Amino acid sequence: MAIKKVWVEDGCISCGLCEEVAEDIFEIDDVSEVKEGADLAGNEDEIKEAAEGCPVEVIKFEEE
C-alpha cells in the first residue's frame, strides 16, 4: 500500500530523529513539519521508520 498522507500531530519535542531518518520528508523549525511537495512514494520506508522511532509517537501516515 502506498503512503498518500503524512503529518505530525501536536506534541513534537523536536528531537531530530525524523529529520535524520527522512531528511527529504521532514524539517524541524520549532517542531517537526512535513515538507511541502515531498515525494512520499519514494520515501515510504523512511517515513515508516521515522514514525516507528518517534519517541512521542506524533508522526502519522495514511496509506491507500
Q: Which conformational region is residue 46 in: left (phi greater than 0), alpha (psi within -120 to 50 degrees), or beta?
A: alpha
CATH number for the 3-63 domain, one of 3.30.2010.10, 1.20.140.10, 3.30.70.20, 3.90.1280.10? 3.30.70.20
What pLDDT digit, counting tens, does each position of 43-64 carry? Answer: 999 999 999 999 999 999 999 9
Distance separating alpha carbons of residues 25 and 1, to the nearest angstrom: 18
User: Looking at residues 14-29, what average pLDDT do you find?
Assistant: 96
Question: Which phi and psi angles does 24 have, rounded to 5°?
Answer: -80, -10
What pLDDT digit, counting tens, does each position of 34-47 carry? Answer: 999 999 999 999 99
pLDDT of 1 over the 90 cut: no
What pTM was computed for the model? 0.92
- Those residues whose C-beta lies under 8 Å from the C-beta of residue 1, and which sit 6 or more positions away, are 63, 64
Q: Which residues sit opposite 8 in a β-bridge?
A: 59
